[in-house]
Amino acid sequence: MKGLVVENSKITLKDGLDVPSPKNNEVLVKVVCASINPTDLDIVKGQYDLFFKLFGGDHLVKTGLEFSGVIEAENTRFKKGDKVFGYVDLIRGLKTHQEYLAIDEDYIALMPSNLNFEQAAALPLGALTTLVALQDLGQVNKGTEVLINGASGGLGVYAIQVAKIFGARVTAVAGPNQEEFLMNLGSDQVINYQKSNIKDLSEKFDILLDLTTNLKFKEIKNILAKNGKFIPTDPLKNMMDLLSNIFGNKKTRLLYVGQGNYEKLTQIAHWVEEGKLNTYGDSCFAFSDYEKAFQRLREKGKRGRVIIKIGKDK
């Protein structure tokens, strides 16, 4: 089978890779589409190599964290031919930039029936991560003031919609020319980060979800409400803020979607089918055009995910 292989910080499309064999709780999936996201860029640079080596994730294909596809070899929950979407364990899991994937059934769910493979591959990790952040860590509900920093990217487009499903008031922070798009997604207010610095806002927020990984707690504490919570998306970059929780300041929350979550993925699929949640793919590239896809990922102004088409959908 074909897959993207990373060697010396360079990615190459190789053929002749072994099709993985599913174990215990796993199914074999023929991958149809996969996304690429900022973590893939860090993986290519080698930033995860030590973790991969230490925790059993040193696979030939190292990039690709979410996908849509078709069940080839079934197990207990899914049947051959089912259309599924899902994500992989960042450290240990086989990655999705390859034609076949063996994956634990807990990391996948049936695709929303109203989406095609391209749309479905843009959905799982972004929607699930923001659902975990806003529901489990943020306990967001009616009237909660939520600020989403980095609102037009792969996670942001879902964070706005999930916060609105729970009844929150949403302030979205993004670059130029995104206001109309983000208001249409449900934002109550949009701030252009090139014109205003959120640290100077006079309003207070119950939840500040930072999808840019640029912010530190001390910079934003003045715009947090009394019991407000800061939820950064990169635990490693905010390690000091998280450690400060030990000394009583329990305002920074640890966000890490590692385990499988079939129930929440299924909830997301139902929201899509009910028209409460829309999926956003910024662009879609052929597998052979993977370099162009990675180039698009590095550009500013994207809306949602960059997708690569890996296999045929028949």
Ligand X SMILES: NC(=O)c1ccc[n+]([C@@H]2O[C@H](COP(=O)([O-])OP(=O)(O)OC[C@H]3O[C@@H](n4cnc5c(N)ncnc54)[C@H](OP(=O)(O)O)[C@@H]3O)[C@@H](O)[C@H]2O)c1
- Give the binding site for ligand X (CB under 6 A): 37-39, 125, 129, 149-150, 152-156, 173-175, 193, 211-214, 233-234, 255-257, 300-302
In angstroms, what is the minimal distance from the CB of 73 to ligand X?
28
SS3 assignment, position 128: helix
Q: How far apart are CA 272 and CA 235, in angstroms?
A: 29
User: How many residues does the structure list for the chain?
Assistant: 314
In angstroms, what is the minimal distance from the CB of 197 to ligand X?
9
When the beta carbons of 70 and 123 are compared against ligand X, the nearer one is 123
Eight-state DSSP code of residue 94: P
Closest CA to 145 of 89, 189, 197: 189
When the beta carbons of 98 and 129 are compared against ligand X, the nearer one is 129
In angstroms, what is the minimal distance from the CB of 255 to ligand X?
4
When the beta carbons of 1 and 306 are compared against ligand X, the nearer one is 306
- Please name the residues in contact with 209: beta carbons below 8 A apart, sequence gap of 6 or more: 130, 133, 134, 138, 146, 147, 148, 149, 159, 231, 233
Q: How far apart are CA 168 and CA 161, in angstroms?
A: 10
When the beta carbons of 1 and 220 are compared against ligand X, the nearer one is 220
When the beta carbons of 28 and 277 are compared against ligand X, the nearer one is 277
In angstroms, what is the minimal distance from the CB of 74 to ligand X?
28
When the beta carbons of 5 and 174 are compared against ligand X, the nearer one is 174
In angstroms, what is the minimal distance from the CB of 200 to ligand X?
13
Residue whose C-beta lies closest to ligand X: 153
Alpha helix segments (H runs only) across 93-175: 117-121, 124-131, 156-165
When the beta carbons of 173 and 269 are compared against ligand X, the nearer one is 173
Tokens linked to 50: 């030590």
In angstroms, what is the minimal distance from the CB of 152 to ligand X?
4
Eight-state DSSP code of residue 291: H
In angstroms, what is the minimal distance from the CB of 179 to ligand X?
12
Q: How far apart are CA 257 and CA 126, in angstroms?
A: 10
Where are any strands of DSSP class E within the chain?
3-7, 10-14, 26-36, 66-73, 83-87, 100-104, 108-110, 145-149, 169-174, 189-192, 205-210, 224-232, 281-286, 305-309
